[in-house]
Structure 1
């Protein structure tokens, strides 16, 4: 069984993205172990003189390295991701590049009609940067619009069609993780480049 780390991409105490990840955790319990990680305690990135990660960042990156794959669920703020998610990814890229070659699945729930489509597009660009170089699952996005009405009182998704869509994407992600990790194990060139990467020389 695969072990996935699910990152809640917001510091909100009342996020429908948390509901989405909790639903996935329950719904796919027979297929994968999904651990949800809250980033609300991670400090704002400030580019320290020494590339030493704060405790919460180190805790996150250790879990990233141990996981078979990473799921990121983010709302959309001003056509992009929340500042705390971008800041968290800046910590990862500056300190130890734990997402290099890591299979990543993107999901998102937002209050508006379009869900988090523009935020996911922006997030793909960020994750594809030289400092992160994650392996984002292609040709897939799971979006929940009008997310305040999407869950019942028990945290269950109401729309059966959305559940079936999520089931297919999750099945694809498991296959993507297997293929990606086979390729990565065959070549560690990206990991070597990441180890030597420096913001100051790019």
Structure 2
């Protein structure tokens, strides 16, 4: 059975993105083991002369390295990902590179009608950056709109059509992960390039 790391892209105590990932963990338990990972306790990213990386970031990186894939749930603030998620991804590409060629499924929930669509688009760009080089599942968006009303008292999604859409995308992700396992011939070189990349160099 595949093991996935699910990153909660918010530091809110009542995040509907966390609720979405909790639902996915329960709902897909027969297909994959999903472990939720919080990033809210990571400090804001800051470069240092000795390239210090917090132990929590190293621990998360190890979980990602060991996982078959990653699911990220992002809210949308000011048409973009949260500051805490952006900062976490900076730590996870600063001297450590767990995302290289790692299959990633992007999801997102928002209170409005757009379901974090612009944040998801930005997140794709970040994950495709030279320091991260994740393998993002193409042509897929799970946009949970009006998320405050989306869950019942048991934490399950109410709308059967939304559940059906999520089911289909998750099955696609399982296939994407299996295909990705066969596409790692250049992983070592890609990781070396990610490690050598620096915005401080011309």
TM bin (shorter chain): over 0.9
Q: How many residues align?
A: 202
For 1:188 and 1:72, the matched residues in 2 are separated by 24
Structure 2 equivalent of residue 20 of structure 1: 20
Q: Which residue does the alignment assign to 2:198?
A: 198
Larger relative helix fraction: 1
Relative distance call for 1:192 and 1:141 in structure 2 (3 A) is same
8 Å CA contact 2:101–2:187 kept in 1: the answer is no
- The normalised TM-score by structure 1 is 0.97
1:14-53 matches, cutoff 5 A: 14-53=14-53
3-state SS in 1 of match to 2:101: coil
C-alpha displacement of 1:51 = 2.2
Q: CA deviation at 1:189?
A: 2.0
- Runs of 4+ off more than 3 Å: none
- Point out the more displaced range, 184-193 or 112-121: 184-193
Give secondary structure in 1 for the equivalent of 2:36. strand
**Is 1:159 equivalent to 2:159 in the alignment?**
yes
* Cα shift readout 1:152-179 (whole Å, capped 9, x = no counterpart): 1110000001111001100000111111
Distance 1:55 1:154 in 2: 35
Q: Could you list the per-position Cα deviations for residues 110-155 of structure 1 after superposition, in whole angstroms to 9, with x for gaps in the alignment?
A: 0011111000001001111101111000000001110000001110
Asked if structure 1 preserves the Cα contact closer than 8 Å seen for 2:109 and 2:145, the reply is: yes
Alignment check: 8 A CA contact 1:70 1:103 kept: yes
CA contact (8 A) 1:73 1:108 kept: yes
Structure 1 residue 48 displacement after superposition:
1.6
Structure 2 CA distance for partners of 1:144 and 1:196, relative to 1, 3 Å: same
Contact residue 6 and residue 36 of structure 1 kept, 8 A: yes
Look up the match of 2:9: 9
Task: Please show how residues 100-139 of structure 1 align to structure 2 within 5 Å.
Answer: 100-139=100-139
Report the alpha carbon displacement of residue 199 of structure 1 after superposing the two structures with TM: 3.1
Any idea what SS the aligned residue of 1:132 has? coil
* TM-score, normalised relative to structure 2: 0.97
Secondary structure in 1 matching 2:78: coil
Distance 1:18 1:25 in 2: 11
Contact 1:4 1:35 in 2 (8 A): yes
For residue 95 of structure 1, give the secondary structure of its aligned residue in structure 2. coil
